[in-house]
C-alpha cells in the first residue's frame, strides 16, 4: 500500500489526502465515512441539482444513489484524478441514467408528427444583457414543459449529448430523438414568446 501510494503521489501529489480517506472508508471506518460525506456532498449536490433544473427536488434521491454507487466502487479508485472529480464522474453517469429512464417512459407515438414549424425566439435586449434574467426565464419556461421535452433539451444542450448518443442510451432511433428535440424546441419557443420577461 505504502509503495503504490508513493508512486501515485509522485505524479499527482494532491491525491494523497484522497487516498488516505479512501483507504479508511474501505476499512469501514465510520468516522472516515462521515468525513467522506461531509467533504464531498456539497459539490455533488450542487452538480446534480443544476442538472435537474427545474425539477431540483429529484437531486436528493440522485445524490444518495451517487454516494452509494461511489462506496460500492471505491476500491477501484486509484488516485488518477481527485476524489471530487471521480465522484462527479459517477454523478454524471447517474444523471444520464435518470434522463434515460425518464425518457423511456415517454409516449413516443406523440412525437411522430410530421413537419414541425418552429417559431423563432429572440431574447429581449434586457434579457441579453442580464444573464440572470435570461436564466430565470429559461428555468421558468422549462418548468412549464412536459418532462420529456425538458429532459431532452437539457440532455442535448446542457449535457452536450448528441442525438446519436441519446438514441443509443434510450434505445430509440436518431430520427426519433431529433423529432422529439424539434418538438421540444417548438414548445419551448412558443412558451418563451408568451412568458414575458
Partner 1 sequence: MPGHERDDQLFRMLCEFDEAAFEERAPSRVKARLYSAIIRDQQETGPLQSLSETHAAGHGLCIFESLVQIAPVGEKAKSPFFCWTCHARLLAENVENAPIFWAHCPYVSFQNR
Residue placing its CB nearer to partner 1 in the complex, 12 or 37:
37
* Residue 132 interacting with partner 1 (CB under 8 A): yes
> Using the rule CB under 8 A, which residue among 17, 112, 113, 118 binds partner 1?
118
Residue placing its CB nearer to partner 1 in the complex, 158 or 193:
158
- Of 4, 31, 30, give the one whose Cα is nearest residue 19: 4
* Residue 27 interacting with partner 1 (CB under 8 A): yes
Please list every residue from 48 through 67 that binds partner 1, using CB under 8 A.
Answer: 49-50, 53, 60, 63-64, 67
Chain-centroid distance, C-alpha 43: 13
Biggest alpha carbon–alpha carbon distance for the chain:
64
* Residue 185 interacting with partner 1 (CB under 8 A): yes
Are the C-beta atoms of residues 139 and 158 closer than 8 Å to each other? no
Q: How far is CA 41 from CA 35, 64, 90, 159, in A?
A: 10, 9, 13, 21
Residue placing its CB nearer to partner 1 in the complex, 12 or 178:
178
Spatial distance between the Cα atoms of 89 and 70, rounded to a whole number of angstroms: 10
53: left (phi over 0), alpha (psi -120 to 50) or beta: beta
* Residue 38 interacting with partner 1 (CB under 8 A): yes
* Choices 11-19, 76-84, 90-98, 149-157; region in contact with partner 1 by CB under 8 A: 149-157
Residue placing its CB nearer to partner 1 in the complex, 74 or 81:
74
CB of 10 to partner 1, least distance (A): 25
Residue 183 exposed, middle or buried by CB count within 10 Å (0-12, 13-18, 19+): buried
Question: For 119, phi and psi rounded to 5 degrees?
Answer: -70, 165
Q: Which residue reads 488518477 in cell numbers?
A: 80
* Residue 108 interacting with partner 1 (CB under 8 A): no
Site string for partner 1, 81-100 (x = CB under 8 A): --------------------
Q: Which residues bind partner 1 (CB under 8 A)?
A: 24, 27-38, 41-42, 44-46, 49-50, 53, 60, 63-64, 67-68, 71-72, 118, 121, 131-132, 134-135, 138-139, 153-154, 156-158, 160, 185, 188
Amino acid at each position: 500500500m505504502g509503495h503504490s501510494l508513493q508512486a501515485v503521489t509522485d505524479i499527482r501529489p494532491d491525491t494523497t489526502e484522497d487516498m488516505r480517506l479512501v483507504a479508511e472508508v474501505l476499512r469501514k471506518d465510520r468516522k472516515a465515512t462521515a468525513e467522506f460525506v461531509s467533504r464531498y456532498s456539497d459539490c455533488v449536490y450542487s452538480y446534480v441539482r443544476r442538472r435537474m433544473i427545474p425539477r431540483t427536488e429529484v437531486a436528493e434521491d440522485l445524490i444518495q444513489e451517487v454516494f452509494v454507487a461511489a462506496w460500492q466502487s471505491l476500491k477501484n479508485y486509484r488516485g488518477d484524478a481527485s476524489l471530487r472529480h471521480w465522484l462527479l464522474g459517477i454523478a454524471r453517469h447517474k444523471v444520464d441514467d435518470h434522463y434515460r429512464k425518464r425518457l423511456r417512459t415517454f409516449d413516443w407515438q406523440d412525437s411522430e408528427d410530421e413537419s414541425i414549424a418552429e417559431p423563432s425566439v429572440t431574447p429581449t435586449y434586457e434579457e441579453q444583457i442580464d444573464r440572470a434574467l435570461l436564466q430565470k426565464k429559461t428555468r421558468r419556461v422549462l418548468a412549464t414543459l412536459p418532462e420529456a421535452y425538458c429532459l431532452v433539451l437539457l440532455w442535448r444542450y446542457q449535457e452536450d449529448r448528441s442525438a446519436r448518443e441519446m438514441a443509443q442510451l434510450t434505445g430509440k432511433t436518431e430520427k426519433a430523438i431529433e423529432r422529439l428535440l424539434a418538438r421540444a424546441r417548438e414548445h419551448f419557443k412558443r412558451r418563451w414568446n408568451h412568458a414575458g420577461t
